[in-house]
Structure 1
Amino acid sequence: MKLVLAFHGTRDPRGGLVCEEIADLVRLRMDVPVEVAYADVRQPDVRSVVDGPCIVVPVFLAAGYHVRVDIPEQIGGRPDVVLTSPLGLDAVPVVRERLREAGFRRGDALVLAAAGSSDARALASVRRAAELLGASAVGYVATATPRVPEVVDEVRARVPGRRVAVASWLLAPGTFHGALARCGADLVSEPVGAHPLVVDVLLRKYYEARALLLQTA
């Protein structure tokens, strides 16, 4: 059964390359077709890719509007299509690793930077990610408040003399991640990206969904 990896979509070509890189890594470990689709901005959209039995895995860090509304609407209630939960909090270990790569040290104050959402449940998921990472605050690049530079300033004022690190709760480079370079932090981690742990999670979600489908068939 085909696997469809559903991404948000971005106009930045670097983001598109990361999506394709993730898909390529997944293909190396599967013997089923793997296709990339986008919920917004880029083509092909999810609607045009779910052209038969398939499992759709949203490669999103939180279940916001696109995951809860957009993608299901594009699937259109097809009985031969299964939509799994998103990547979500399973990306936390990757963010920890990106922080270490960026030079994060014990004693640094940590801010989690996310894109933002109008969905309260998505924002709750971001706050949970911050708790798991040990971040003292959360800031958003767009859609929600407070914004990242404001949060960095507040944290720096609370802990003078300590470095302030920002953990990027973003999947790929682009406009949002680029804005973090100007947020005033001492260091900013790279986005989640095409990490082997991300591939592990996507494969697990696919095989769990397929097994459940076979049990109920």
Structure 2
Amino acid sequence: MTRPQLLLVAHGTRNPRGVDMIASLADAVSEKVGPTRVAFVDVLGPSPAEVLRDSSRPTVLVPAFLASGYHVHGDVPQEVAASGHTAVAVTRALGPDPILARVLVQRLEAAGWRPGDAVVLAAAGSSDPRALRDVRDASRMLSSLVRTTVRIAYVATGSPRVPEVVGTLRAQGARRVFIASYLLAPGLFHSRLADAGADGVSAPLGVTDSIVDLVVQRYCVGARLVLAR
């Protein structure tokens, strides 16, 4: 039976570094599972429906999102339905996941964070309560690793915003405050964090061996589902 292809679906960004990062992730995953294509739900194309219409091959769609909000629960199934493709398995999003929490710690340490420093988890934000719940889960995972309370703040949608939380921690006596960027790729949202008043900002999660393995894990679960139909 034909091995399913993998369709990695991301949000989309006008920042070429962000686009390149998603392409690099897809390339790294393809070395382990075979053909991997990329689609975007916003900003740029191709859309998931366009990619799916281009092939009748069984497909595992992995949402490259760190929380499951409207794009995952709304856009993705609508795109699959619009494509008319009948052999698609949609996995759960990449986050939250303990693997991502460990990468966040690595990124924080690279930015200069040390035990005892305050941590703010900066997420893009969403009006979808399911996504906000996922962010809370991510903060708990990170908190268990850094052994301190991790405050949540949002870059674009929702409150409190990142500068507000950083300021509150300063007012409460925190000597050093670090922002853990809960973003997958460089772009407008990550660039805003530099002006939030923290002592350091971690790099986006990006491409690591463990994140590649996480995508592969999602793919393997989806492949079993789509081949069992």
TM-score normalised per structure 2: 0.90
What is residue 199 of structure 2 aligned with on the other side?
A: 186
**Pairing 1:86–2:93 present:** yes
Q: What is the rounded CA distance, in whole Å, between the counterparts of 1:195 and 1:128 in structure 2?
A: 21
Q: Which digits, 9 at most, give the CA deviation of each residue in 1:9-53, with x for residues without a partner?
A: 0111111011001011111222x3110000111111100111322
Q: Give 1:78 shift.
A: 4.0
1:59 aligns with 2:73: no
What is the aligned partner in structure 2 of residue 149 from structure 1? 163
Partner Cα separation in structure 2 for residue 42 and residue 92 of structure 1: 29
Distance 1:56 1:207 in 2: 11
1:213 Cα offset (Å): 3.2
Q: 1:72 aligns with which of 54, 74, 77?
A: 77
3-state SS of paired residue (1:140): strand
The secondary structure found in structure 2 opposite 1:6 is strand
Question: Which aligned pairs between 1:12-27 and structure 2 lie closer than 5 A?
Answer: 12-27=15-30
Per the alignment, residue 109 of structure 1 pairs with 118
Q: 1:136 aligns to what?
A: 150
Q: Compute the displacement of 1:5 (Å).
A: 0.3
| Residue segments in structure 1 that go unaligned for 5+ positions in a row | none
Query: Matched residue pairs, number?
Result: 214
Query: 1:47-78: CA deviations, max 9, x gaps?
Result: 01113221100010000100000011000074
Structure-to-structure mapping, 1:113-132, within 5 angstroms: 113-132=122-141
Give the TM-score of the pair, scaled to structure 1.
0.95
Q: After TM superposition, give the deviation of residue 103 of structure 1 in Å.
A: 1.4
CA RMSD of aligned residues (A): 1.2
How far off is 1:212 after superposition? 3.0
SS class of match (1:112):
strand
Equivalent residue letter for 2:32? R
Aligned-partner SS, 1:28: helix
Q: State the distance in 2 between where 1:69 and 1:171 align.
A: 20
Structure 1 CA distance, aligned partners of 2:45 and 2:150? 38
Name the % identity.
47
> Does the aligned pair in 1 maintain the 2:59–2:226 contact within 8 Å?
no
Q: 2:215 matched to 1:202?
A: yes
Partner of 2:43: 41
Q: For 2:30 and 2:223, how far apart are their aligned partners in 1?
A: 16
Gaps of 5+ in 2: 144-148
